[in-house]
Amino acid sequence: MADLTVDIVVLGWGKAGKTLAGALGRQGKRVALVERSAEMAGGSCININCVPTKALVHDSGMLMGAIVNANANANAPSEAGDSIRRFASSVARRDTLVEKLRARNRALLDEVDMITLVQGQARFTAPRRIEVSAGHDRLLISAETVVVNTGTVPAMPAVASDAARHGRLHDSTSIQHVDPLPERLVIVGGGYVGLEFAGMFAGFGSGVVLLDRHDGFMRGEDRDVADAVRALLEERGVEVVLGAEVEAVDDTGDRAVVAYGTAGEAAHTRHVEADAVLFATGRRPVTDDLGLDAAGVTTDDRGFIVVDDRLRTSAEGVFAVGDVNGGPQFTYVSLDDYRIVLDQLTGDGSRSTRDRAAVPSTIFLTPPLARVGMNETEARESGRDVLVAVKQVADIAAMPRPKIVGETHGLIKVVVDAATDRILGATLFCVDAQEVINLVALAMRAGVTATELRDGIWTHPSSTEALNEVLGDLRPLTW
């Protein structure tokens, strides 16, 4: 059994961990980065989550455009019947992209002499002492600082785990390589992941049934926004079933069969058949096999590592960053985790999670749905004097870009504090929403007023210039 002593050991190759390892290694610190799978070098974002799924979403959106254009031209052949080939081609492109990014991520750290890359299963044996196992090999690593960055994995409910499997039951990772493209797909779960995969597979040509156990669709959004998203999905062939509680799954026959009950019909069970079933039912932290007890690291009732506002755990010298600490599960939040821990180790230690304001998010539908700050419902409950502007994308004359690219679905909605003219929040359901929302978020953090955004000089034709028109239509909340 070999021994290794370093200044810092990072468990997991996610965004925060790899960035921290690179920064400290280049400063001359001795760093060990441990990752249990070669397939996860670079972290989950580039391997299974953000990048590969958005590549598939992009390609499905391009396919939708091709079908629409073909249908609009009687002399052009429709590509709808070519969906299986197009999906397989997209998956191949996805895999090539992931391989390139994985290799680049490995090279970026391999070239730093002070960084030792270790592959194997890590486990605490004592505070700041890690045993890494790989087959019969063992490596003991001692460090002044340990950063846990092991992330999350899809959480499969018991009803799926207990079912006999013939390859038709999937989580968000395995569904990316389903073969062939399912003619009919059932998705269990109506959150970010379920919605993105519903839109993506519908774009490739699958018939999609979305089973959401909640009675309200997208309960965290204003009703006009949620209704617009649902209308888009249904227009593209997605059947949305609310109040659907999955009772059993049978994957023993020619097709998988999902049995579910709906609210108000407890005595009745409905069945839906599918070529594939995706369980988009949340994610759980990778903490079970880390030996956290040996390190004195506390977890919550869901298994996430408990941290303070500087990402310190209950054990001295041990930090937890990224999804495993129970915070927002976004790569860009993980990057900010890196900044906080780096400040603890090399700065004045003043940076904390309390510094975060106006953090945006995006659901990558086609077009995307992006949010920052309050929505109208939350603004109503805040007691402020509020102004609201909302406009359908198809009706925004100052925003020709959606018409240029042939995607005019959606709406734009902004909530403003009437007393200060500061933006309280915005919802953008439109082409380029994932980009424009960053401008709005920056304006909120910098104190830029709604009037200044309204009178901004933006490039043309762009989606940003929608702000010129939409913010010129602010009205009191009670209108």
347 annotated as belonging to a binding site for a ligand? no
- Could you give the residue ranges of the DSSP H alpha helices within 125-263? 158-161, 192-204, 223-235
pLDDT at 461 over 60: yes
Residue type present at position 299 = T
For every residue of 396-414, DSSP letters joined together read: -TT--HHHHHT----EEEE
Q: Please, are residues 268 and 286 in contact by the beta-carbon 8 Å criterion?
A: no
Q: Which of 166, 177, 271, 460 is catalytic?
A: 460
Q: Judge whether 413 is annotated as a binding position.
A: no
State yes or no: pLDDT of 72 exceeds 70: no
Superfamily name with CATH number, domain 2-152+284-355: FAD/NAD(P)-binding domain (3.50.50.60)
**Helix extents (H) in 75-222:** 83-110, 158-161, 192-204
**pLDDT band at residue 355 using 50, 70 and 90 as cut-offs:** very high
Q: Does pLDDT of 66 surpass 90? A: no
- For the chain, how many helices (H) and strands (E)? 14, 23
pLDDT at 267: 56
**What average pLDDT is seen over the chain?**
93
- Concerning whether 268 is annotated as a catalytic residue, the answer is no
Residue in this structure with the two tokens 């949010």, named with its chain if needed: 371
Residue 80 has pLDDT above 50, yes or no: no
User: What percentage of the chain reaches a pLDDT higher than 90?
Assistant: 89
Supply the pLDDT for residue 433: 98
Between 231 and 76, the higher pLDDT residue: 231
Q: What pLDDT shows up at residue 354?
A: 96
Higher pLDDT, 287 or 267: 287
Helices (H), 351-432: 376-382, 401-405
Q: Does the annotation flag 18 for ligand binding?
A: no
Could you tell me the CA-to-CA distances from 411 to 34, 377, 400 in Å, in that order?
A: 45, 16, 14
195 is in an annotated binding site: yes
Whether the predicted pLDDT of 69 surpasses 60: no
DSSP state of 354: G
What's at 43, amino acid-wise?
G
In this predicted structure, what is the pLDDT of residue 167?
86
- Whether 361-473 and 158-281 are alike in CATH topology: the answer is no
- List the one residue out of 356, 348, 370, 343 whose CA is nearest residue 440: 370
Domain ranges of the chain: 2-152+284-355, 158-281, 361-473
| pLDDT at residue 407 greater than cutoff 70 | yes
pLDDT (0 to 100) of residue 86: 95
Q: Which fold has domain 361-473?
A: Enolase-like; domain 1 (3.30.390)
pLDDT for 294-318, tens place per residue? 999 999 999 999 999 999 999 999 9
Strand order in the sheet with 256-262: 244-250, 256-262, 270-274
Q: Which residues contact 82 (CB under 8 A, 6 or more apart)?
A: none
Query: What is 158-281's CATH number, 3.10.20.30, 3.50.50.60, 3.40.50.460, 3.30.390.50?
Result: 3.50.50.60
Q: What pLDDT shows up at residue 75?
A: 46
